[in-house]
Structure 1
Amino acid sequence: MSDPDIVVVGAGIVGVACALQLARQGQRVVVLDAQEPGMGASYGNAGHLATEQVFPIADVSILKRLPGMLLDPMGPLRLDWKYLPRALPWFVRLLLNLRPASYQRTVGGIRALNEGSLGAWQRLLHSIERPDLLREDGSLLVFERAQSRAALDALQQRMQQQQVPVAFWSGEAIREVAPQLSDRLLGGLFFPATGHFLDPYQAVCELVTAAKASGVQFIQRRVHEGRVDPQGVVLSTDLGAFRARQVLIACGAHSAKLTHSLTGKKVPLDTERGYHLMLPHEHQRLPFAVTSLERKFIMTPMAGGLRLAGTVEFAGLERPANMQRAWQLHRLSQGLFREDLSQQDATPWMGFRPSLPDSLPIIDRVCEGKVLLAFGHQHLGLTQAALTAEMVGHLQDSQRTGAGLPALGPYRLDRF
């Protein structure tokens, strides 16, 4: 291929979905990534299509939890002591975004994306003839302690205020559909407009196959920095310079440096390090994804077994993974089932989720249309990927027709 119309930097679920969308709109597309497609955060996410999660990961209670975040290495939300000096400016921004007006703007932004996400995934999966990859059978948030009922009721009310479909289920109702769950579960909230992927990595691979059939080239190459010139963009890679008319930055937690070199804008991007534990011998325990309110982790049934996922760790991109956090997920599962889950042949994993302090992604077109941006989806990358691809497609169409930028609301780069 001669100089492509657009280079997509990042071969995760967001980058691949965007590449397919752009190719279908007639663009000559090349995808660059240091890894094979789908081998970053997209490989090991929880697989939950989390359209119900319209609230950011933090609220004002984070101030009370901060000592525990620093002192408990196995806690559900952890901040590494050694990373604290680098993370502090990000956390200051996070706290500022908890002010009422900013918080409501964030909730509105997440909700707008999530409301359109299921439909976007339905359209995308039907277009590649693989709707079977997604189970649209809802998800459940359960509680065990009687004193948690007030918090659950308050959450249900907040969800209803945001028009999130939700229903309360008694413990008996839960065990009717998931009989292997323990009698200690007192009830929960069922979210019917959610679902789960049977294999998130396979979903990426199927999109890659469709993208290649549409002419997209995938090249394993690390991108270091870039510059904009009158002809387009030039990217500096480990195998030399790479030129294109446009670039789409969609490399998740690794997007900040490239964004700065191309646009001059420093974005406050940090990473939520997420862990999972895959249990390959657990295939019949759950009919859909189940999250524990008190234990703060999720269990998702997949083709390859049961995936336990969750916990958020702030420790940056460089520090080695603490796989004890992955194994801790099995300990958290004990007592939730009538019989404990099998750890035989279990495999731990850690990945980087890109997070901005207002919990919203950047989806934008800048530098006279030569730079497109689609990153920062925090733990909702899988959920929002298909809709993000459609939005990037609209950005590209508006560039081609001269119609100007679509309404991007809170996702613009210049909010920072």
Structure 2
Amino acid sequence: MSSVSSQQQMVVIGAGVIGLVTACCLQQQGHQVLLLDGNGVGQGCSFGNAGHLATEQVFPLADPALLPKLPGFLLDPLGPLAIRPRYFLKALPFFVRFINQMRPKKRSANMQALKQLLQSAIPAWQQLLDDAGCAHLIKTDGSLLVFEQTALAQVEQVAQSYAQQGVALEVLTKAQLQSRFPGLADSVNYAIWFSEVGQTISPNLLNQALFQWFLSMGGQFLQQKVANISSRHGLAVHLEPNQMAAAQQSEATPQIIATAQLVVCAGVHSKSLLAQLGFKLPIEAERGYHLMTSPALLPVLPVASFERKMIMTPMQEGLRLAGTVEFAGTELADNWQRAERLRFHGEALWPALLNKPQLKDAKNGKAEASAALAAAGNDVSPDLSKIRPANCWSGMRPTLPDSLPVISGCDIPGLWFHLGHQHLGLTMAASSTRLLLKLMAKEPGSAQLAAPFSLKRFN
């Protein structure tokens, strides 16, 4: 077997936003870092996320209030959740673990751990981007959570639950919304303005700016897929044969990179890499979709819907409609109907998205769409699964049952894990990396801070 390098001081597997920030911070500290990713830089969820720095999302996904809503979600073709029938049994062990995390003590502990990373998320990003010279790529004007049919008493109850966790907010009436945030549909009656959250003007621009900074500091990148990791004779990364090289050779052998320190930031693809080393990682791919649109008028900040469970984020490229959760694993074809359905919700909330001069009734529009799509249910139309419609995207959110990432070392010296940030990868990338670096440097108190994120919690 050939070796692409005799020794690398640091190797980071995965060039999504978690791996990029990790590689940048390690390189900035003076390490020589090699970044590996077979799909290129800033792809997957790091490319297509909602762009929202969602520091208000202090509540773990495993919420007992979700259980009575599940049937309605699953039966609604326009709903926020889908489970492919062919994948249900494979996902069942994850769902069992997920429901177990709804117990009050576990949910409370998970929430405190999430808050630890979220409270420092935006300051950590601001410092990182100041260092990188691209602070303009994030804004901190806040975001809206809008309500159409929810009564004021419940809106205030929701607001209070956030406020009790230290989230800065203000409840706004329809009149206040029309004055301060014009453009929302008349169906929006109330909103919670989260005043201390942020967004990026473009996830793609953010990723590319970080990558250029990484290269300017002397970091190295290799676009090649990792086949496996070995630790028998020291840490080594085995790469899959380069396809171009394989076409020119009768027998292509994997390349091997020996390294003193290795950080795995490969999202859902980390599961197979860890399994080769004997670690069990109950990670699941929450497939999400987005639809890019170009209305003449953009909202001035992200707008999420309490009832519709989706979000609209103004970006340099246009207005991104994002959301939905689909459990379909990593192999089944995308169901592009789920991305296209986001338009119905977007038009109902933001009339500028409508091609027609007058806003059609939101309820009738949803009813018409539901009738047209009901036959498809949660399965995939063959036509839509083969060809991606223009401006649509899908990606795999790496989610663990307790909604916490893995920020951890292990019994193998020099091997570290930084993965599983669910819907909050962009939000927590900088603060999560800060904790990882403290752990790697064995700073006093770091082991205690990182304990909730240890890989050992699953073994």
Fold shared per TM-score above 0.5 = yes
Judging changes above 3 Å, is the alpha-carbon distance between structure 1 residues 250 and 406 closer, same or farther for their aligned structure 2 residues? same
Please give the alpha-carbon distance, in whole angstroms, between the structure 2 residues aligned to 1:341 and 1:218.
Answer: 43
- SS of match in other structure, 2:64: coil
The answer on whether the counterparts of 1:5 and 1:29 sit within 8 Å (CA) in structure 2 is yes
2:181 aligned with 1:178: yes
Counterpart contact for 1:283–1:303, Cα < 8 Å: no
Please show how residues 197-346 of structure 1 align to structure 2 within 5 Å. Answer: 197-239=200-242, 240=254, 241-262=256-277, 264-279=278-293, 281-282=294-295, 284-341=297-354
Matches within 5 A, 1:7-22: 7-22=11-26
Which residues of 2 match residues 104-183 of structure 1 at below 5 A?
A: 104-145=108-149, 147-183=150-186
Cα shift readout 1:3-39 (whole Å, capped 9, x = no counterpart): 1111111000000100011111121111111111011
CA distance in 2, matches of 1:235, 1:366: 20
Q: CA deviation at 1:283?
A: 5.6
Residue matched to 1:373: 417
AA in 2 matched with 1:258: L
User: Structure 1 stretch 17-26 or stretch 387-396: which is displaced more?
Assistant: 387-396
What is the Cα deviation at residue 342 of structure 1? 5.1
SS in 2 for 1:188: strand
Larger radius of gyration: 2
CA root-mean-square deviation: 2.0
* Cross-structure match for 2:401: 357
Match of 2:61 among 57, 73, 87: 57
Q: Offset of 1:396 from its aligned partner?
A: 2.5
Structure 1 spans left out of the alignment, 5+ residues: none
1:203-222 Cα shifts (integer Å, max 9, x gaps): 01000001111111110111
* 8 Å Cα contact 1:283-1:305 kept in structure 2: no
Q: Cα distance, 1:314 vs. partner?
A: 0.9
TM-score by length of 1: 0.94
**Which is further off, 266-275 or 232-241?**
232-241
Aligned match for 2:449, one of 401, 407, 411: 407
Measured after TM superposition, the shift of residue 198 of structure 1 is: 0.6
Partner of 2:434: 390
Instruction: Tell me by how many angstroms 1:390 deviates.
Output: 1.5
Distance of aligned partners of 1:59 and 1:242 in 2 relative to their CA distance in 1, 3 Å threshold:
same
**Whole-angstrom CA distance in 2 between matches of 1:320 and 1:196:** 30
Moved more, 36-45 or 252-261: 252-261
Q: Distance between the aligned counterparts of 1:148 and 1:314, measured in 2?
A: 31
Aligned to 1:85: 89
Percent identity between the two aligned chains: 39
- Asked if the contact 1:70/1:81 (under 8 Å) is kept, the reply is no
Quote how far apart the aligned CAs of 1:393 are. 1.8
1:348 to 392, 398, 411: 392
Aligned partner of 1:164: which letter?
Answer: V
- Find the aligned partners of 1:200 and 1:325 in 2 and give their Cα distance: 21
Deviation at 1:236, TM superposition (A): 4.3
Corresponding residue SS for 1:8: strand
**Aligned partner letter, 1:347:** N
Report the Cα offset of residue 415 of structure 1.
Answer: 0.6
Q: What letter matches 2:213 in structure 1? A: A
Q: Tell me by how many angstroms 1:223 deviates.
A: 0.9
- Structure 1 segments, 4+ long, off by >6 Å, are 401-404
Structure 1 residues 404, 295: closer, same or farther in 2, change over 3 A? closer
Change (3 A) 1:178 1:413: same
